[in-house]
């Protein structure tokens, strides 16, 4: 290691400790993140195949989850593939789906602590991909570690439509009429049928790559979330960036509309 690298490590280590102190132990229970910028990172790094960016981004995921675990986060939601992404050229989409299934298998491997939940419209995915994702999540049942939502084939509007559809089918099976349902329907009825049912809504939503919009991510659940945007592309996202997000979250005063 060069002297310059050594000094850089020392400075970042000291800065990281300072950020942790500034957060004063106030951490989000649920962090959601949009892993954006893989393709742009690949192009700027000189790669001709954007799949190299997706692979680099996939390697970052385990590190990110370990940072969340260190910060006592209980739930993490990672958006890996949107419903809009399913319209990409097959030459890009096919290897991307393989990268996603491979990294999900790695997160579910023996010795890893995560409890996986696949959130998204699996029926929109190729059958073999949906099967691998579901089987990976099933292998983590019973674990007591941090809960990790892997959002694949996910769209916020699609999720709300699916929740309403499930709600209607449930009440149809129970013999409830439309008029009876209309009288009792409230937000909790819909929340119970979301992909993330039973989990706290995200306290903090992070988006990498400089984009400052939700793009349909967790439309229902993000009503009171705090947002944090960074210019860093996902493969270049560092622990110090994560700690800045945690520090900024801790400094905010959440009023929940009051």
User: Known binding site: residues?
Assistant: 36-41, 54, 82-84, 88, 207, 213-215, 226
- Nearest-5° Cα angle at 38, 33 to 44: 140
Answer whether 134's CB lies under 8 Å from 125's CB: no
The answer to whether the beta carbons of residues 205 and 227 sit under 8 Å apart is yes
Q: Is 85 a catalytic residue?
A: yes
Structural tokens at position 86: 């399913």
Cα separation, 43 vs 52, in Å, equals 9
> Is 36 considered catalytic here?
yes
**96 and 54 Cβ atoms separated by less than 8 Å:** yes
Rounded Cα–Cα distance for residues 236 and 143 (Å) = 30
> Rounded to an integer, what distance in angstroms lies between the CA atom of residue 55 and that of residue 91?
15
Cα–Cα distance for residue pair 197/163, rounded to 1 Å = 10
With b for 16 or more beta-carbon neighbours within 10 A and e for fewer, the 214-249 pattern comes to bebbbebbbeebbbbbbebbbbbbebebbbbbbbeb
Q: Are 49 and 94 in contact (CB under 8 A)?
A: no
Q: Which of 36, 52, 201, 241 is labelled catalytic?
A: 36
Nearest in space to 200 (alpha carbons), one of 147, 144, 136, 134: 147
Neighbours of 255 (CB within 10 A): 7
**Active-site annotation, residues:** 36, 85
């Amino acid at each position: 290691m060069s002297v310059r690298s050594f000094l850089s490590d020392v400075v970042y280590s000291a800065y990281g400790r300072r950020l942790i102190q500034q957060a004063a132990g106030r951490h989000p229970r649920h962090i959601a993140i949009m892993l954006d910028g893989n393709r742009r990172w690949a192009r700027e790094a000189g790669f001709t195949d954007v799949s190299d960016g997706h692979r680099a981004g996939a390697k970052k995921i385990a590190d990110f989850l370990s940072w969340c675990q260190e910060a006592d986060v209980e739930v993490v939601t990672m958006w890996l593939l949107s419903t809009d992404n399913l319209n990409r050229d097959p030459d890009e989409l096919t290897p991307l789906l393989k990268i996603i299934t491979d990294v999900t298998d790695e997160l579910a491997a023996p010795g890893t602590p995560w409890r996986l939940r696949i959130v998204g419209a699996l029926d929109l995915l190729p059958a073999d991909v949906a099967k691998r994702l579901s089987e990976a999540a099933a292998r983590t049942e019973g674990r007591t570690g941090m809960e990790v939502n892997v959002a694949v084939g996910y769209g916020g509007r699609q999720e709300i439509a699916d929740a309403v559809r499930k709600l209607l089918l449930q009440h149809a099976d129970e013999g409830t009429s439309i008029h009876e349902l209309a009288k009792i329907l409230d937000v909790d009825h819909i929340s119970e049928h979301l992909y993330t049912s039973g989990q706290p809504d995200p306290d903090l939503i992070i988006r990498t790559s400089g984009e400052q919009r939700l793009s349909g991510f967790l439309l229902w659940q993000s009503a009171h979330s705090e947002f944090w945007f960074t210019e860093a592309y996902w493969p270049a996202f560092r622990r110090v960036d994560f700690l800045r997000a945690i520090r900024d979250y801790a400094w905010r005063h959440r009023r929940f509309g009051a």
